[in-house]
Chains A and B, each alone.
Chain A
Amino acid sequence: MRRAADVAGLLAGFATLAIVLSVTYDVLMRYFLDQPQLFVDEVAGFLQVLLIFAGAAYTFRVGGHVRVDLVTNAVRPATRAWLRVVTLLVGVVFLAIVIWVTTQSAYTAYRYGRVSAVMLYPLWLPMAFIPAGLALLGLMMVGTLVRQARLAVGPAATRTEVAPDDDPA
């Protein structure tokens, strides 16, 4: 699972690079040669979707998502452990709903042969990045949930939040 998140994270990195390069290419072509590149606007938009959703699982793995710790910092480690179990559980359920809905949207786009407005690229592909990325994030969260639940019911001394897996290896 970690490996998959790392590969997806790498993909998100390459997507960022591709956006930078393609937009730069478009600007240079438009400014100096009066040849705007129509494909760039849509491709950059699709890559942005990839960047966000492919990077979600990796960001979760290294503890990079924004967290509000106003409450968790004020309670005892054992309570914090149980709170994390609850929030992860809610998160997984919420993700399952979003994955279901976005999969349906991507499938509808495929069924109707929906395409982008200008370059007529098939839309199901960038739309499928969303449930795929979220599914990976969901699996990572389930893994953490299992570890967190074990800690929460384990010996009192070790009852606390699981640390983010920030090992870059």
Chain B
Amino acid sequence: MKRTLVVSAVVVALVAVVVAGSTFAPAPAGAQAKPIVWNLPHVAAPTYYHILNYTAFANKVKEKSGGKMEIRVHPASSLYPSHELIPALVDGRTEIGPVVAGYLTDILLEIGVLDLPFMTGGLDEHRKAANALRPFFTEMLAKKGLKLLTINTWPTQQLFSLQPIKTVGDWKGKKIRVYGADSANTARALGAAPVSIGFGEVYTALEKKTVDGAITSATNAEPMKFFEVSKFINYWNIAGAGGEWFVVNQKAWDGLPKDLQQAVMDALKESRLEDKEWEDAAAWDARAKQRCAELGMTVVEPGKDEIEKARKQARSGWDTWLTRTGADGKRGMELALKALGR
């Protein structure tokens, strides 16, 4: 026992010496001051275009700041789980990051107006409307202490299914996987029965025929192997895009020296972050459509009149959103409908 104590004491003393040595040792000559480090958490996989674009932006920040600032990109929810992202930004637990429309369930719900099902019909239309609503988004985000940097996007949301769903009538009675209250209300408004299933379980649900269809991005067909378990991909453009507002916590921004603020703004411009996001979404969507056909799926294109019919019916599904978002939501809706010419 005595011997063990002596050995333990020696080990502890050695560790203490090493730690103290590394802490108090003088910095080597020519060493730079510690850079300011910001964290940028994200939900997308490391190979997804968002991460590639944010990494390019982060590299540019490092370059423009002469190494005085570093932005660390954390993909695949490795820093915060998906639903924690928005509170983390609002609380300032993380300095910079995306507000993803798919996770707007409470805080900042009103900025998701363009992401309501059938609100926009494609990436171009969505972007045009998002540009028109930029002052509205800026104002709503500022209310929560966030500064809007760019408006980015996810690809469109389509419908995978076991049977073709080409007309509004085809939705009737189908069990459809949804991902939130608004998509559930919309599915219901179209006569379908919404089923809440986590993204990771969609493959099995389609395989076991627990659902007849699933709303998600066509870009998931190949990586998630949905082509193996659903024969049809129906291009209803349920969401013309998936909004993503790239923001910075205002307090963190205010605490940044002016030269570094300029470096961030220059990096945004030089990396063409916003343009690149929309270009990539379009390219990924186009490639996904082509790959779906090559992988043996039937690409179903509902007629414009059917999509318009669905949009009219789906509007009743927006009521819950309007009730929950109050005056701000009402204003956002009016601006969105005006921008879309509806």
Binding site for B on A (CB under 8 A): 30, 34-36, 38, 41-42, 79, 108, 112-120
Instruction: Enumerate B179-226 residues with CB–CB distance to A below 8 Å.
Output: 179-181, 184, 193-197, 210
- Extra inter-chain contacts (9) besides given A116-B105, A118-B181, CB under 8 Å: A30-B175, A30-B210, A36-B194, A38-B195, A38-B196, A112-B106, A114-B87, A114-B107, A118-B194
Shortest B340–chain A CB gap in Å is 26
The answer to the question of B169 belonging to the interface, with a C-beta cut-off of 8 Å to chain A, is no
A115 to B180, CA, bound (A): 11
Write 21 A-B pairs (CB below 8 A) sorted by A numbering: A30-B175, A34-B175, A35-B193, A36-B195, A38-B184, A42-B196, A108-B87, A112-B87, A112-B90, A112-B106, A113-B106, A114-B105, A114-B106, A115-B106, A116-B105, A117-B105, A117-B179, A118-B181, A118-B194, A119-B181, A120-B181
Chain A residues within an 8 Å CB radius of B197: 41
On whether the beta carbons of B184 and A118 are closer than 8 Å, the reply is yes
Chain B residue nearest to A76 in the complex (CB): B1
Binding site for A on B (CB under 8 A): 1, 83, 87, 90-91, 105-107, 173, 175, 178-181, 184, 193-197, 210, 320, 324
A35 to B181, CA, bound (A): 17
The 9 closest A-B pairs by CB, nearest first: A36-B195, A41-B196, A118-B196, A114-B106, A117-B180, A117-B105, A115-B106, A112-B107, A36-B193
On whether the beta carbons of A30 and B105 are closer than 8 Å, the reply is no
Pick the contact of A118 from B91, B106, B175, B178 — CB < 8 Å? B178
A108 to B173, CA, bound (A): 39
On whether the beta carbons of B195 and A30 are closer than 8 Å, the reply is yes
Chain B residues within an 8 Å CB radius of A42: 196
Shortest A109–chain B CB gap in Å is 8
